[in-house]
Each structure stands twice: as structure tokens, then as C-alpha cells.
Amino acid sequence: MAVLAGSLAMIVLDGTIVGVSLPSMIDALGMDLTQAQWVNSLYSVVLAALLMTAGRLGDRIGRRKLLAIGVTLFVAGSLIAAMSPNAAALIGARAIQGIGGAAVLPSTLSSVNSIFRGKERAAAFGVWGAVMSGAAAIGPLLGGAFTTYLDWRWIFWVNLPLGLLVLWGIWKVVPETTIEHKERGVDVLGVLLSAIGFGLLVFALIEGPSWGWWTPKTAANIGPFTWPADAALSLIPVFGLLAILSLVAFVLWELTRSKKGLSTLLDLSLFSYTTFSWGNATAMMVAVGEFGLLLVLPLFLINVLGNDAMGAGLILAGMAAGAFLSGAMARHLAARLGADRVVVLGLGMEIIGVLGLAWILGIGSPLVPMIALLVFYGLGLGLASAQLTSTVLRDIPTEASGQGSATQSTLRQLGSGLGTAIAGSVLAIATTHAATTSLSALNIKGLDAGSWAQKLSDSAGGIIPQIQHSPSMFGPQTAQVTRAMTDAFTSGVQAAIIASVIALVIGWLGSLQVSRAARAAVRIQSTHEV
């Protein structure tokens, strides 16, 4: 369990450790907001696109073998990221890390599901869930420490010794588990359709603000192909439509293969279990809310409040403290209330915490209440995440554990990518609108409000401290311009946080459905026993 948890912690950490380091990366590599979003979200997008494939592959060739392959790829991607000379190399390295992570994540969960039994199995699921939420929450603290005291590249260098240690542990103690499949063939088209669908969906959300949601803002370059700026329609709705069509085709293709007795990437029959279908929807919404926060809060803490990366990491560590504390308590609380009710309670706490954060930002962002709300949110996150895993898989047969765990992990990672994409898009749109309005109201001669609003959005707020430290840029009006930009960026962050609240409310409604289904199953079982 220690080796499996270590493998999981390593790849989950890399999903969140980047956030507080983004301002340093933007400055060092000359990135804009869109590139920063790709650095932050491509890892999760690749994970989401390949997890189901990896889950099925692990069932066939062995989870231990796939785990070792995944860790090796992840370490290789980390090495390339640490040595990246530009944004393109860093984004490519994050894709390689995502491929490795896609092999690791379902291998750990399906191994837990196959190796442990009885009370040990419940405890192991609790550990897995606690590591999943706790490692994600502690990422900003580690990222802040490495960036402040060493260099942002160390968030990737550190994976090399950790990865080698995990590989040694896999070789020494992790047993091999596989499942014999009766289905024929390999679902290659399913892999392609799911990857295209999930990838284009997140791509459209990330590039929408810069390319234009309906009409083009600028020419779009994709390899040798150029979409002109004077086209009647932007590429974004085209990609969005292609994403939807690909996902619909994927579902229809999976149903067709299943009826023919052929192997499928996604076993849609698993969604006949109410706890599985609603539980997965809840898990995805939890990830949307969490990763949306982890994108915008570090940018706000550094560019608006003036913290360094370490200071931002320490503030965000309140989430980690709450998640670790409640994650450890969740199993005992679940024994009294039931795992399903603990999930409902945890999500309710998350919603209250995030709403409080949005309100705090509007009244001057006092530090102590902000940290308290982050701890409260973390407590809810730990409760919900630690018990969601066992709740989602509670009714799934052991022989389908690999597919079930991979599906759950896929939707969590898709939620992570969507959370980053949605929060980034909302931040860009709201910031640009608010800054254009407030800068225009200043009536400063020679100041192009629209252009500076776009610069504020593209720099993810990074231009604010630059203006503060260059008073000659706007002369006597520098303070006014700085205040207008600060207020605009704050309103953009608030809008992104409200988007996270909406996702969490949807997840909470889903958790109520999970709880109802779980309670109904318990009543039926009790009736049969009587």
C-alpha cells in the first residue's frame, strides 16, 4: 500500500504543484495566459484521454507491469520539463508526463481493489482517497517552496529520485494482478474517438478567449494550417461541435462492440449501477471545482496581494491541512454515518468554503479569514474525496474493477482539465470586460483601454506588479491604473471562483442521488437477510 500510495502521490502532486510556479514560468519562458493554461491543464487532458485505455491495458498485461512503465514515462517527462528552454518544450513534456500518469493512476486503484479484501479493503480505499485529495492540496506548498528557495524547475527535478524509489518498491513488493478477458479484439477506434472528443472539448475551452468564441479575434495557426482572422466563424464552435460528435460516436461505437461480444474501452453496463453513474458525476464536479481554484488563487495571491511563491503556497497549504486531517478521520466518520453521507457532508462544506472565499475577495481579502476558509474547504475536500472512491466502486464486481477504477479516474482527470479550462476562460473573459470598462472610465489621454485590458488578461495579472514597479509608465495616473487593473483582475478571480461553486453544487446534487441509491441498496439487503 505504501508503494501504491507513493506512486499515486507523485502523479497527483504534479497536477497541482505547477499552479504557484506559473508566474515564475510565465516570466522565465515568456508565456501568455493561454500557454500557461496548457502547461497547467495538458497533463490532466492527456490523463483523461488515455486513462480508460490504460485501465483495460493493465487488466490484460498486468497492473504491476503497467505501473512500472507509467512511472518510467513520468520520470522521463519530468526530466524533459526540468530542462525545457521554452514554452513549447515544457508543454510537450507535460504531455509525456500525462501519458505516464495515465498508466499509473488506474494501475494503483485497480491493484488496491484486487489485492485487499474485507476491512483491509475499506481501509486501503480510504488511504487511496486521502492521498488523492491530500497530495493535490499539498502541491501548491511544495511548488511554492521549490520556486522560492531553489527554482521552478525543481518541481520537476524532484520527481527523478522519487520515481526511482517508487520503481524499486514496485519491483520488490507489489504483486502482479491481471484479469482474463473473454471479449475479442482491441478497441482502437474507441481509443481514438474518446481521445479526440475529450481533447477537443478542453482545447476549445482553453483557446476560446484568445481565438474568439464565435467570430475570430485573430488568425489561428495549427501546424501548417491557418484559419484567417476575417473568417465568418471562429474555429472554437467548430472544435466544440467535433468534440460532441466524437463523444456521441464513441458511445454508439462502444454499444455496438458490446452487443457483438467484442472488447470495449468503456463498459457502459457499469453505468446501470446508480452509485457508479451518479458517483462518477460527483467526482468529476469535485475535480472541476478544486482545479479551478488551484489555477486562479495562486495568480491572485502573487499578482494582487504581492505574495511570493512560498507565501502563496503556505496560504494554500490550509487546503492540504484540512484535507489530510479530514481524510484520516473520514473512515471513522463513515462507520457512523455511512460513506455516502460523509460525501454529502464534505461537498456541503466545500460549497460553503468556496462561497466564503468569493465574498472575502470582495472586501479586501483579509488573510486570517481567507486561510480559515481554505482549511474549512480542505476539510470538506478530504471527507468527500476519501469516501467517493469506495462509494463509486461499492457495487462494481471485482472482475470489472480495472474498468470501473479507470472510468472513475478518467472522469476525475477530465474534471481537472475542465476545471482549469473553465476557470481560465471565465477569468480571461471577466477580467478583460472589467478592465476595459474601468480603464475607459479613467479617461487617461493616450491609454488604449482595450489593449491594456487584453495585456492584463494575457499576463494572468502579471502586469500589475510590473506597473507598480514602473511609475513612469503612466506618470501621476499610475496608482489609478494599478487600482483599476487590480479591481478588474479581482473581479475576474471572483467570477472564476463562482464557476467553481456552480460545479460543486452540481456535484452535491449528484451526491444526494448516490446517497439515496446506497440507502436503498442497504434496505433491500436487510430485507433479503430477514
Residue 186 φ/ψ region, left for φ over 0, alpha for ψ in the -120 to 50 degree band, beta for the rest:
beta
Which triple of cell numbers denotes residue 17? 504543484
Residue identified by cell 507535460 is 94
Determine the pLDDT at residue 335.
Answer: 72
Residues 4-33: b if buried by 16+ CB within 10 A, e if exposed: bbbbbbbbbbbbbbbbbbbbbbbebbebbb
The pLDDT tens digits for 44-76 are: 777 767 776 776 677 677 778 888 899 999 999
Nearest of 42, 38, 65, 43 to residue 54 by alpha carbon:
65
* Cell triple for 365: 481579502
Q: Where are the domains of the chain?
A: 2-183+264-430+491-529
**Mean pLDDT along residues 510-528:** 70
Mean pLDDT of 327-343: 74
Please give the pLDDT value at position 254: 85
How would residue 179 be classed by pLDDT, with cut points 50, 70 and 90? Answer: low
pLDDT range class, residue 133, cuts 50, 70, 90: low
For residue 529, the model assigns a pLDDT of: 54
Determine whether domain 2-183+264-430+491-529 maps to CATH 3.90.400.10.
Answer: no
**Banded pLDDT at 249 (limits 50, 70, 90):** very high
pLDDT of 177 > 70? The answer is yes
pLDDT tens-place string over residues 342-395: 888 888 998 999 898 888 887 677 788 888 888 898 888 878 876 777 777 777
Cell numbers at 100, concatenated: 505516464
Least confidently predicted of 81-95, 327-341, 355-369, 437-451: 327-341
How much is the pLDDT for 399?
A: 65
Q: Which residues pair with 262 in a beta bridge?
A: 184
Q: How far apart are CA 172 and CA 176, in angstroms?
A: 11
Whole-structure pTM value: 0.74
Are the C-beta atoms of residues 234 and 219 closer than 8 Å to each other? no
Phi, psi of 227, rounded to the nearest 5 degrees: -95, 115
Q: Which residues share a beta bridge with 332?
A: none
The pLDDT, as a whole number, for residue 248 is 92
Flag whether pLDDT at 252 surpasses 70: yes
Joined grid coordinates for residue 387? 469516501
Q: Which residues contact 507 (CB under 8 A, 6 or more apart)?
A: 281, 282, 283, 284, 285, 286, 288, 289, 347
- Mean pLDDT, all residues of the chain: 79
What are the two backbone dihedrals, phi and then psi, of residue 394, each rounded to the nearest 5 degrees? -60, -35
Q: What one-letter code names the amino acid at 402?
A: G
Residues 473 and 444: their CA atoms lie apart, in Å, by 12
Q: Residue 227 carries which DSSP code?
A: E
pLDDT for 85: 87
**Residue 242 or 294, more confident:** 242
pLDDT band, very low/low/confident/very high, at 84 (cuts 50, 70, 90): confident
Rounded to 5°, the CA angle 197-203-207 comes to 150
Let me know: does 216 contact 230? Beta carbons within 8 Å.
yes
pLDDT digits (tens, 9 = 90+) for 404-425: 766 776 777 677 777 877 888 8
Which residue carries 488604449 as its cell?
A: 448
CA–CA dist 371, 366 (Å, integer): 9
Name which of 138-147, 182-191, 204-213, 495-504 the model is least confident about: 182-191
Residue with cell 497547467: 40
Residue indicated by cell numbers 482474463? 180
Cα separation, 112 vs 132, whole angstroms: 14
Would you state the cell numbers that stand for residue 371, as one nine-digit string?
A: 486561510
User: What pLDDT does residue 118 have?
Assistant: 67
Question: Beta strand pairing status for 225-227 and 220-222?
Answer: antiparallel
pLDDT higher than 70, residue 526: no
| Number of neighbouring beta carbons within 10 Å of residue 468 | 16
Of 507, 416, 282, 298, the residue nearest 14 (C-alpha): 416
Confidence of residue 79 (pLDDT cuts 50, 70, 90): very high
Contacts for 213 with CB less than 8 Å, ≥ 6 apart: 234, 236, 237
